[in-house]
Amino acid sequence: MASEPQEPQSEGSERRREGWPRWSIWMLIALVLASVIVPNLLNRETGTAIEYSSLIDEVTDGRIDSVVVTNQTGAIKAEAIDGTTYTSKGPIELPETDLKLLRDRNIDVEFRTESSNPFLSLLPILLPFVLIIGLFWWMQRRAQGQMNGIMSIGRSKARTYTTERPETGFDDVAGYKGVKQEITEVVDFLKTPDRFAAVGARIPKGVLLVGPPGTGKTLIARAVAGEAGVPFLSVTGSDFMEMFVGVGASRVRDLFQTARKLGRAIIFIDEIDSIGRKRGAGLGGGHDEREQTLNQMLAEMDGFEATEGIVMMAATNRPDILDPALLRPGRFDRQVVVPLPEFEERSAILAVHIKDKTASKDIDLNTVAKGTPGMSGADLANLVNEAALNAVRMDRESITQDDFEAARDRILIGQRRESVAMTDREKEVTAYHEGGHALIATLFANADPVHKVTILPTGQALGVTMQLPEERHAYSQDYIEDRLAVLFGGRMAEDTVFGVTSTGAANDLIQGTELARRMVAEWGMSDRVGPMAWGSDNQVFLGDGLVSGRDYSDETARVIDEEVERILRTQENRARQALLEHRSALDRIAATLLDKETISGDEVAQLIPDPVPSSEDGDPISEAVNPPSIGQPGSD
């Protein structure tokens, strides 16, 4: 577990410590209440309460020895000859007949005037002054707090994780052995810097963790601090940005001053691309606050002041937009790629996330890991949680393998739409459409295997053919061509059976056109165009290449369009020819879908008596690509 951050003390607590303590206010309130209540309790009369007429009867019978009358309230306290005390309430002025009766019976009568509470007497006079003084005091303290907030705006917002509490180590990070080995040098340097100093080696000052979102870059950085046993200062790039120019630079200075006081420490900046973008880029010119913050960070990392023992770590999923000055040697001169987890790593990550869940012993995490290629650590955590939610939804006491299947389908293809009512004609067309996808994917050897086919409305689609791609890092031309054929399988099935096409193939056409264009313009898979690439990774919002023209002629653009059309036509014809040759298998798949609504990839293979591979696997291309998944036909 990661050590808990030491939260900075709030401004309110500082003000209370500088001014009156909190208990003094409650003490003042208690004194005021005591001055009002205690005198009343002390002056409270004790004795047997009787009516005034009964008291007169006691006087008439000669059983009363003395009487005390309170002038302000008419309260009477009488003491009998036998020692009994009576209390009563009479008129404020006793009648003459009653006074005469008391004198005739030789009873001692005392008329007492009680003194008033001095505090209560002064309260109406003092209360307005107290309220006015309290109002001015409150306004002064509030103004002082605002001034303190303004004066502290340049302080760093970094959270400090110390070594006094449990830390995160490499054992807490599942998988990523290669990443751990690459940053072990940083840990060794922080633990034993003398070894490196003896040889004259200098550890990189900055380590940039690069990878897709959700791969655990922040967790790995915290594990480095835990392994090294040094303080860990964590801050996000957005914490440096304020409306006032110069605040970000001041916070950078304060951050490094704090780290220097700690001696050896790790400073981790998450999402550094928010302040580390290329300077001077963008449609609106430069951003003064961001550029000043970046300049200050560059100066602190490789300026005149020594920062020995301080290692900078940062995380981003957009290294291409970072300023080149950040990535030069002496700053973030080491980039560690944190990729999407492989099969074994996904299995280990699933085991970590399922520890605190009530899961069935029959769950095979390896099977789940094989069915989740391309998922990050955050995606796998979400998958486990969705499986737990599905178990609760199905009134199960523990998570089962079926819950993981349902959770994966919900994440990859969306939630089933129960409210969509399809006509018989739409169901039949959708069944043949999805059957065409499944048939081509099963027939062609280079296509990804079919996992599930359904004609139930799911997500944005009326039907889905779900394929589980194998673990690949590079894709051959044969694989991409077979993928295009699979995309056209649904459209060609509709044309072959019904002689018409529908809007259900819209998403297939979009994905197919994009793949074919990248084959021609980026991957050099066209003999007519040749080994040339015109793809660009520059982003429009950076302003790079926005006003510049294309780097190829109109004639080349026409050739690219013709080659894209040729590739798409070729794969369309391949799909049509395969469907015509296996029309009976297509009919069986569609009929089974209309009957069961959902079938597995094994059932599809059983409905095809003798599938014939289209071609052998080709050689992998040099650059890995990421073709999008099969489109969901039938989208509304």
Q: Hey, which residues does 461 pair with through a beta bridge?
A: 458
Token output for 295 = 């300049």
What is the CATH architecture of 424-537+550-606?
Up-down Bundle (1.20)
pLDDT tens sequence across 520-554: 998 989 888 888 888 654 444 444 444 445 677 88
pLDDT tens sequence across 480-489: 999 999 999 9
What is the C-alpha to C-alpha distance for residues 505 and 492, in angstroms, rounded to an integer?
Answer: 10
pLDDT tens sequence across 65-112: 888 887 777 788 888 877 788 888 877 777 888 777 877 777 878 877
Of 294, 297, 312, 299, residue with least CA distance to 232: 312
Is beta strand 598-600 parallel, antiparallel or unpaired with respect to 450-454?
antiparallel
pLDDT confidence of residue 13 = 44
pLDDT tens sequence across 40-56: 555 555 677 888 788 88
Q: For residue 218, give Cα distances in angstroms to 161, 186, 280, 355.
A: 13, 16, 29, 21
Label residue 591 by pLDDT band (50, 70, 90).
very high
Is 60 exceeded by the pLDDT of residue 153? Answer: no
Is 60 exceeded by the pLDDT of residue 562? Answer: yes
What values do phi and psi take at 32, rounded to 5? -65, -45
Torsion of CA 15, 20, 21, 24, to 10 degrees: -150
Tell me what the mean pLDDT of segment 598-621 comes to: 64
pLDDT confidence of residue 78 = 82
Tell me what the mean pLDDT of segment 132-161 comes to: 60
pLDDT confidence of residue 154 = 47
- Residue of 109 and 290 predicted with greater confidence: 109
Contact predicate 103/65, CB 8 Å: no
Residue 601, classified by CB atoms within 10 Å of its CB into exposed (0-12), middle (13-18) or buried (19+), is: buried
What is the C-alpha to C-alpha distance for residues 336 and 183, in angstroms, rounded to an integer?
Answer: 8
pLDDT confidence of residue 184 = 79
pLDDT confidence of residue 159 = 55
Domain 159-337, CATH 3.40.47.10 — does that match? no
pTM equals 0.63
- Give the type of residue at 72: Q
Torsion of CA 618, 466, 357, 395, to 10 degrees: -160
Token output for 527 = 């003999």
Token output for 218 = 């922040």
pLDDT confidence of residue 118 = 63
Is beta strand 310-316 parallel, antiparallel or unpaired with respect to 598-600?
unpaired
Label residue 117 by pLDDT band (50, 70, 90).
low
pLDDT confidence of residue 155 = 52
Q: Could you tell me the residue ranges of all domains in the chain?
A: 5-39+133-151, 44-112, 159-337, 343-413, 424-537+550-606
What is the C-alpha to C-alpha distance for residues 357 and 634, in angstroms, rounded to an integer?
Answer: 37
Label residue 167 by pLDDT band (50, 70, 90).
low
Token output for 616 = 């052998």
| DSSP state for residue 7 in the 8-state scheme | P
Tell me what the mean pLDDT of segment 592-602 comes to: 88
Which stretches within 247-316 are classed as H helix? 247-261, 288-301
| Fold observed for domain 343-413 | Helicase, Ruva Protein; domain 3 (1.10.8)
Mean pLDDT (the chain, rounded): 76
Side by side, which strands form the sheet with 5-6?
A: 5-6, 159-161, 232-236, 265-270, 310-316, 206-210, 334-337
Token output for 214 = 């959700």
Instruction: Choose from 124-138, 223-237, 335-349, 540-554 the range with maximum mean pLDDT.
Output: 335-349
HSE, side-chain direction, 13 A CA sphere, residue 464: 22
Annotated catalytic residues are: 434
Tell me what the mean pLDDT of segment 474-485 comes to: 90
pLDDT tens sequence across 393-440: 888 888 988 888 888 888 877 777 766 777 888 888 889 999 999 999
What is the C-alpha to C-alpha distance for residues 476 and 479, in angstroms, rounded to an integer?
Answer: 5
pLDDT confidence of residue 569 = 94
SS3 for 358?
A: coil
pLDDT tens sequence across 243-281: 555 677 777 777 787 777 777 778 888 888 877 777 765
pLDDT confidence of residue 310 = 79
Label residue 621 by pLDDT band (50, 70, 90).
very low
| Fold observed for domain 44-112 | 3.30.720
Label residue 633 by pLDDT band (50, 70, 90).
very low
pLDDT confidence of residue 372 = 83
| DSSP state for residue 469 in the 8-state scheme | -
- Residue of 633 and 154 predicted with greater confidence: 154
Long-range contacts of 238-242 (CB under 8 A, 24+ apart): 238/271, 238/274, 239/156, 239/157, 239/158, 240/275, 240/293, 241/274, 241/275, 241/289, 241/290, 241/293, 242/153, 242/289
